């Protein structure tokens, strides 16, 4: 039997961190061990910004998890509200990962992702040169396009430098993988009039055997609802990163007209009820740089039907997702062709209808419309978003809404299984 080819994966975050890219890479790495000798270089667990004391004494930490060799790089703590601390964290990972790469032995393939922004691709190129290996660059988000779309950083010189660096990474890749058809178009536009790098599109996934529909009276789902005050409520849930790219600070203002509580003038507003008599609750499950801002807005305006729920461990995600009656899947305006919200796969997996705020022609909106698993409108159309919320409130319990959830699960099982996507990754790599 021939020796397995070796593949080194640069993963900014990896299990047990809850970052969506880290979860995808964990699934991928563990599935690839049958075909490859897999090594992952990642940070010590730190997605929330805090580093446990046991990860503060050494430069590297070596583990083996389900057949995957994991080298963890020590990084400084950070807060998501501080650009400076986040940059220091990223720089520490960059240089630590390069150093770890030197000690990782011979490699046949380097697999890099677009996290951290731009840095991930540069790591891949340097790793390729260092190991004389073939490079696969997986672009989950295009940067600096994503940063520019939300105005996170406006220094023209640095944005231009970031673009040049990421195009450099694409050009030096043996294969570029994107996760949406609209992202493929962005790659082509980057190289208009020039040779477009070898590329392929492969959808992201959710583990459909771990995340699936549960009955509403499931004990763990009921306990989750009790814990966060969602019992006997109609729950419209946002689950995921409460960050910059989703226009959540504007969406919570839309929710204001559906609120329950006392106004600043002291008048009580009873809030909306569904046709079956349940009060409407908006739940935000997760964390991120905008979470505190949303909490303060809800407190200032006396929302009593907005609930904030912390990140859930992967093992509890099935219960939190099943606790929602309808789920948001949103992106800010200008994100078309730049980013692909993978949360849609989890919503489809639990058979819940989607309330989509997504630009026409984006990968996820196309999946929602093809599978008929939800309703969508354009980002920035706040009147339209309010109409969608009202439509779901008015149509609770109807066959149309039930079928949306069923359609999503059925489409996922037929087209978007985890094993299907990962097998595509394996086959594309082996062709190089």
Are 188 and 313 part of one and the same domain?
Answer: no
Determine the average pLDDT of the residues in 189-195. Answer: 92
3-class state of residue 164 by DSSP: helix
**Cis? peptide before 222, omega within 30° of 0:** no
Assess if residue 213 is contained within a domain: no
C-alpha Rg value of the chain to the nearest Å: 22
CA distance 315 to 318: 7
Position 289 scores a pLDDT of 82
- Buried b or exposed e, range 360-396, using 16+ CB within 10 angstroms: eebbbbbbbeebbbbbbbebeeeebbbebbeebbebb
pTM for the whole structure: 0.91
Position 155 scores a pLDDT of 77
CA distance 26 to 41: 12
Are 195 and 224 part of one and the same domain?
Answer: no
Position 260 scores a pLDDT of 67
Position 233 scores a pLDDT of 94
% of the chain with per-residue pLDDT over 70: 96
pLDDT grade for 156, boundaries at 50, 70 and 90: confident
Are 184 and 252 part of one and the same domain?
Answer: no
Position 125 scores a pLDDT of 98
For the chain, what is the domain count?
2
Are 67 and 186 part of one and the same domain?
Answer: yes
Position 296 scores a pLDDT of 93
Structural domain of 290: 219-415
Determine the average pLDDT of the residues in 77-101. Answer: 91
Are 234 and 166 part of one and the same domain?
Answer: no
Whose CA is closest to 280, among 317, 311, 307, 315? 307
Assess if residue 266 is contained within a domain: yes
Q: Give the pLDDT confidence of 92-132 residue by residue, as tens digits.
A: 999 999 999 999 999 999 999 999 999 999 999 999 999 99
| pLDDT surpasses 80 at 309 | yes
Assess if residue 289 is contained within a domain: yes
What CATH number has the domain bearing residue 249?
3.40.50.2000
Position 264 scores a pLDDT of 55
Position 269 scores a pLDDT of 59
Assess if residue 212 is contained within a domain: no
Are 347 and 381 part of one and the same domain?
Answer: yes
Q: Give the pLDDT confidence of 54-68 residue by residue, as tens digits.
A: 999 999 999 999 999
Place of tokens 């099943």: 322
Are 120 and 149 part of one and the same domain?
Answer: yes
Q: Give the pLDDT confidence of 392-418 residue by residue, as tens digits.
A: 999 999 999 999 999 999 999 999 999
CB atoms within 10 A of CB 397: 13
Please give the structure tokens belonging to residue 53. Answer: 């004391």
Position 268 scores a pLDDT of 55
Are 325 and 270 part of one and the same domain?
Answer: yes
Are 41 and 168 part of one and the same domain?
Answer: yes
Assess if residue 214 is contained within a domain: no
Are 157 and 271 part of one and the same domain?
Answer: no
Computed over every residue of the chain, the mean pLDDT equals 92
Position 263 scores a pLDDT of 53
Are 303 and 168 part of one and the same domain?
Answer: no
Position 158 scores a pLDDT of 87
Assess if residue 210 is contained within a domain: no
Q: Give the pLDDT confidence of 260-278 residue by residue, as tens digits.
A: 655 555 565 566 788 888 9
Are 59 and 31 part of one and the same domain?
Answer: yes
């Amino acid at each position: 039997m021939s020796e397995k080819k070796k593949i080194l994966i640069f993963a900014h975050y990896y299990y047990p961190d809850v970052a969506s890219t880290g979860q995808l890479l964990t699934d991928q790495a563990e599935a690839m061990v049958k075909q490859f000798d897999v090594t992952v270089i990642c940070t010590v667990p730190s997605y929330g910004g805090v580093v446990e004391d046991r990860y503060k004494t050494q430069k590297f930490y070596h583990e083996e998890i389900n057949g995957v060799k994991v080298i963890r790089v020590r990084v400084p703590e950070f807060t998501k509200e501080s650009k400076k601390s986040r940059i220091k964290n990223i720089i520490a990972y960059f240089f630590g990962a390069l150093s770890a790469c030197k000690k990782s032995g011979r490699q046949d393939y380097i697999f890099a992702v677009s996290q951290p922004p731009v840095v991930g691709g540069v790591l891949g190129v340097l790793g390729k040169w260092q190991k004389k290996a073939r490079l696969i660059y997986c672009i989950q988000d295009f940067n600096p396009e994503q940063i520019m779309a939300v105005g996170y950083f406006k220094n023209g010189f640095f944005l231009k430098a970031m673009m040049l660096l990421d195009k450099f990474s694409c050009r030096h890749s043996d294969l570029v993988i994107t996760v949406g058809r609209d992202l493929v178009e962005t790659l082509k536009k980057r190289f208009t009039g020039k040779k477009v790098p070898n590329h392929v599109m492969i959808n992201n996934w959710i583990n459909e055997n771990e995340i699936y529909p549960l009955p509403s009276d499931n004990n763990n789902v009921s306990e989750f609802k009790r814990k966060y005050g969602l019992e006997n409520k109609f729950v419209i849930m946002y689950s995921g990163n409460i960050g910059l790219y989703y226009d959540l600070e504007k969406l919570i203002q839309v929710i204001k007209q559906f609120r329950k509580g006392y106004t600043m003038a002291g008048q009580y507003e009873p809030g909306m009820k569904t046709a079956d008599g349940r009060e409407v609750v908006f739940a935000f499950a997760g964390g991120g740089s905008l979470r505190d801002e949303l909490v303060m807005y809800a407190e200032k305006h006396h929302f009593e039907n907005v609930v904030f729920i912390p990140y859930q461990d992967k093992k509890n995600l099935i219960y939190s997702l099943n606790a929602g009656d309808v789920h948001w899947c949103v992106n800010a305006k200008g994100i078309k062709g730049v980013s692909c919200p993978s949360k849609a796969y989890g919503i489809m997996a639990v058979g819940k209808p989607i309330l989509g705020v997504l630009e026409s022609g984006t990968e996820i909106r196309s999946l929602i419309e093809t599978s008929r698993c939800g309703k969508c409108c354009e980002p920035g159309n706040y009147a339209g978003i309010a109409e969608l919320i009202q439509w779901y409130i008015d149509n609770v319990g109807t066959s149309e809404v039930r079928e949306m959830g069923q359609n999503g699960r059925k489409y996922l099982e037929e087209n978007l299984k985890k094993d299907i996507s990962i097998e595509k990754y394996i086959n594309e790599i082996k062709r190089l």
